[in-house]
Chain A
Amino acid sequence: MDAHSHSHYEPNTAFERWLDARLPIVRFGKDLLDFPTPKNLNYWWTFGGILAFCLAVQIVTGIVLAMHYNASGTGAFDSIQHIMRDVNYGWLIRYIHANGASMFFVAVYIHIFRGIYYGSYKAPRELLWLIGAVIYLTMMATAFFGYVLPWGQMSFWGAKVITSIFGAIPVIGPAIVSWLVGSFTVDAPTLNRFFSLHYLLPFVIAGLVALHIWALHVPGNSNPTGVNVKDKSDTVPFHPYYTVKDGFAVSVFMLMFAIFVFFMPEALGHVDNNIAANPLATPAHIVPEWYLLPYYAILRAIPDKLTGVIALAAAIGCLFALPWLDRSRVRSMRYRPQARLYFFIFIAACLILGYCGAHEPDQQIIPGLAAFNIGDSSINSMAWLSRIAGLYYFAWFLLINPLLGLRETPLPVPESISTPVLSHPAAAPAGAAAAPEKKG
């Protein structure tokens, strides 16, 4: 479908006609608002809009913070306190930005899991999925750079641990680390370049989001049934139907966001980051932010550093390969009961990995329970729990997804989007008995 084929824009004034012939920007905006969208999208689909809101919030608050922030090894920590104490509403802007990063990841994880559950990555949306995966990767880099900027203990030591991952690459690893951190160890030059990249990458993300939406608007949205749109009766214009639904979802999301910002602003941070960076004092536990913990657990599950780093890269790589790993022709897991079961175990495995990442590998899972060792560590340790969960993580991508599509028996898929919703009260003829359990 090209942009003009479904355009309902009629330039009414001489100026609009003049503009439309030269730069059809009003037509572009009108077509975005009119975009035919499946009418059966549920609330899991609102996270796209929520993510756009998150990106805008991070960019706006970030630009204001950069006006007051001092990216220098000696001044960074002090300038954060200056923002918190002296800048008008600086505490509000910084807490929105710091908690906003976590909210962004909450939303992106729900968005990704929604995409997996409803098979939104399947043809013809593979490229849409790939662009999304690149956005997610860029988000992780941006968040990591941002966490370094306050230049507290966790910033400093987190930067040291993450950059040292690249040191595992044979022969050229150490040289790459020096090149990344701009010194022989993490130091003031690292902070300056991370600030530069932290300011750059959000605009890269914004560009990628434009591509993501463009790639979405070619095939159009997927939907909970996974059935293609057949005709106009299956869709509604994006505005006002989804602007109001997304708007409501954003507002509820803001409620949760506000609880963190105003009542527990430090809950997702680490107390050690309120101590200025000190290269001579290593914190007892170095942990990344919660949204990176599953990968951290995979990295630490393997005693050999290089193998661990390869596993870490592979864990993210699997996400990119998913459209080709999943062999099922049925998009939505609504009609794939077996796939649904494995999917929920997959979510559990990701959560368990996150839990392991927050603890030391030798910590007991059940405190005080004596257990035997397998290999290098006790079966009752975070090390083995993360290995088991990590194994399932990879098996889900590399074994379950390719095989299940060939072996499972899916449930019958509806003829069209409109078929399963005909029982909705609004579709029933006047006077017919309503089915209250189907409402909403």
Chain B
Amino acid sequence: MLRKLLAKAVARALVLALAAGLAAPAAAATTSAPLEHQPWSFSGPFGMYDQGQLQRGFKVYTEVCSQCHSIQYIHFHNLGDPGGPFWSPKYPNSNDNPYVKAIASSWPRQVTEINADTGDPSHRKPTSADVLVPPFPNDAAARASNGGALPPDMSLLAAAREGGPDYIYAILNGFRPTPAGIKNAPPGKYYNVAFPGDLTSYWTGAADAVPTGGFISMPPPLTDCKVTFDDGTPCKLQQEARDVSAFLQWASDPKMNERKQTGIAVMIYLLIFSAILYASYRQIWRNVAH
């Protein structure tokens, strides 16, 4: 036991020495449940976003997530861009899209401006040119309302997490009752099997049976029928989680449809071009021994 501890200490010291030399921190032994790959409509080289799913996901974002999370790189008009949740070929200029206009004008929060004549703060309804108005005016206000934790901006959430939408889906489905062997769980935190953490210091059971996962500051946001879907899709928790994960993937990578469509054309073009060049090469070199 002592030898094991000593070996561990030496290993730790080496890591620290190496890491300190590079100004990098020693990594804690974080664990989380392995990610399950979900069958996304946008997987693979031909996969595209499912517009109905994006609309449902947007509803989940609006009614639940947007209470705490901003999405600072998404403007209302982006919702009507090609590939977006409310894209319609009838409205190539997404600012004219009636859904976009209606969503902007009925948004629960107003835009704060400075009145040009008086210099006083004033408020107005958002237009399609505005960013989806965030729930908090600044990070300090967001922390103050969330027990000191800052709800991350959601524009790039799917791109900034290993596993992307699979990770978001796993977190939303990963809330469990705190395991019995956990003592002194931090107050205002929630146990989540998919959230990377290290529960060793809370664990009172066998040393090799430390539960995977960690404590997350976000309370379980979704329950069955927290959001009802206008298209009749059953409002199960898994459905809500899947749809909002897809929506957040779109928010991270809104040009994916266009990118893959262009890519397929480019590949076909280059294949033909390469074949022509190869034929030219054989033709030009036909009389040269090499």
From 241 to 285 in chain B, residues with beta carbon under 8 angstroms from any chain A beta carbon are 252, 254-255, 258-260, 262-264, 266-267, 270-271, 273-274, 277-278, 280-281, 284-285
Chain A residues, Cβ within 8 Å of B114 = none
Cβ contact of B10, chosen from A85, A265, A299, A376, cutoff 8 A: A376
Measured CB to CB, the nearest residue on chain A to B196 is: A284
Judging by beta carbons under 8 Å apart, are B18 and A303 in contact?
yes
Judging by beta carbons under 8 Å apart, are B45 and A426 in contact?
no
Judging by beta carbons under 8 Å apart, are B266 and A274 in contact?
no
Proximity string of chain A (351-376) to chain B, C-beta cutoff 8 Å, 1 when within and 0 when not: 00000000011100000000001001
Chain B residues, Cβ within 8 Å of A160 = 23
A241 to B264, CA, bound (A): 31
Measured CB to CB, the nearest residue on chain B to A417 is: B290
Cβ contact of A262, chosen from B14, B263, B277, cutoff 8 A: B263
Judging by beta carbons under 8 Å apart, are A255 and B280 in contact?
no
Chain A residues, Cβ within 8 Å of B45 = 263
**Can you show 18 pairs from A to B with CB atoms below 8 A apart?**
A39-B288, A84-B255, A85-B73, A91-B258, A160-B23, A161-B23, A161-B24, A241-B284, A244-B277, A252-B274, A258-B267, A262-B267, A274-B252, A303-B17, A361-B14, A373-B10, A378-B11, A427-B289
Chain A residues, Cβ within 8 Å of B161 = 271
- The reply on A254 being an interface residue by CB < 8 A is yes
Judging by beta carbons under 8 Å apart, are B18 and A300 in contact?
yes
Measured CB to CB, the nearest residue on chain B to A91 is: B255
Judging by beta carbons under 8 Å apart, are A248 and B281 in contact?
yes
Judging by beta carbons under 8 Å apart, are A92 and B159 in contact?
no
Judging by beta carbons under 8 Å apart, are B22 and A300 in contact?
yes
Chain A residues, Cβ within 8 Å of B263 = 258, 261-263
Q: How near does chain A come to B119, taking the closest CB pair, in angstroms?
A: 24
A236 to B290, CA, bound (A): 10
Measured CB to CB, the nearest residue on chain B to A256 is: B270
Chain A residues, Cβ within 8 Å of B155 = 81
Chain A residues, Cβ within 8 Å of B156 = 81, 274-275
A84 to B159, CA, bound (A): 13
- The reply on B21 being an interface residue by CB < 8 A is yes
Judging by beta carbons under 8 Å apart, are B162 and A308 in contact?
no
- Interface size class of chain A, counting residues whose CB lies under 8 Å from the partner chain: 35 or more
- The reply on A183 being an interface residue by CB < 8 A is no
Judging by beta carbons under 8 Å apart, are B73 and A255 in contact?
no
Chain B residues, Cβ within 8 Å of A81 = 73, 155-156
Judging by beta carbons under 8 Å apart, are B78 and A85 in contact?
yes
Cβ contact of B288, chosen from A168, A236, A261, A373, cutoff 8 A: A236
Given A303-B18, A361-B18: A284 touches B27 (CB 8 Å cut-off): yes
Chain B residues, Cβ within 8 Å of A244 = 277, 280-281, 284-285
Judging by beta carbons under 8 Å apart, are A85 and B260 in contact?
no
If A39-B288, A360-B27, A424-B289 are given as contacts, then 4 extra A-B residue pairs at C-beta distance below 8 Å, sorted by A number, are: A39-B290, A81-B73, A248-B274, A285-B27
- The reply on B7 being an interface residue by CB < 8 A is yes
Judging by beta carbons under 8 Å apart, are A426 and B287 in contact?
yes
Instruction: Number of B interface residues at 8 Å Cβ cutoff, please give it.
Output: 51
- Most chain B CB neighbours (cut-off 10 Å) among A254, A271, A361: A271
A92 to B103, CA, bound (A): 30
Chain A residues, Cβ within 8 Å of B254 = 85
A414 to B75, CA, bound (A): 69
Given A241-B284, A251-B277: A424 touches B290 (CB 8 Å cut-off): yes
Chain B residues, Cβ within 8 Å of A427 = 289
A285 to B278, CA, bound (A): 45
Judging by beta carbons under 8 Å apart, are A362 and B259 in contact?
no
From 297 to 355 in chain A, residues with beta carbon under 8 angstroms from any chain B beta carbon are 299-300, 303-305, 308
Q: Ordered nearest first, which 9 A-B pairs have the shortest CB separation? A: A262-B263, A427-B289, A274-B160, A305-B21, A424-B289, A248-B277, A274-B159, A251-B274, A274-B156
Judging by beta carbons under 8 Å apart, are A251 and B18 in contact?
no
Chain A residues, Cβ within 8 Å of B285 = 241, 244-245, 426
- The reply on A148 being an interface residue by CB < 8 A is no
Proximity string of chain A (246-274) to chain B, C-beta cutoff 8 Å, 1 when within and 0 when not: 01100110110011011101100001101
Cβ contact of A240, chosen from B24, B160, B267, B284, cutoff 8 A: B284
- The reply on B92 being an interface residue by CB < 8 A is no
- The reply on A388 being an interface residue by CB < 8 A is no
Chain B residues, Cβ within 8 Å of A361 = 14-15, 18
Chain A residues, Cβ within 8 Å of B160 = 271-272, 274-275
A305 to B15, CA, bound (A): 13
Chain B residues, Cβ within 8 Å of A274 = 156, 159-160, 252
A244 to B282, CA, bound (A): 9
- The reply on A409 being an interface residue by CB < 8 A is no
Chain B residues, Cβ within 8 Å of A300 = 18, 21-22
- The reply on A422 being an interface residue by CB < 8 A is yes
Measured CB to CB, the nearest residue on chain A to B81 is: A85
Judging by beta carbons under 8 Å apart, are A164 and B22 in contact?
yes
Judging by beta carbons under 8 Å apart, are B284 and A286 in contact?
no
Measured CB to CB, the nearest residue on chain A to B25 is: A282
Cβ contact of A248, chosen from B10, B260, B278, cutoff 8 A: B278
Measured CB to CB, the nearest residue on chain A to B155 is: A81
- The reply on A418 being an interface residue by CB < 8 A is yes
- The reply on A377 being an interface residue by CB < 8 A is yes
Judging by beta carbons under 8 Å apart, are B159 and A251 in contact?
no
Chain B residues, Cβ within 8 Å of A303 = 14, 17-18, 21
- Most chain A CB neighbours (cut-off 10 Å) among B11, B24, B155: B24
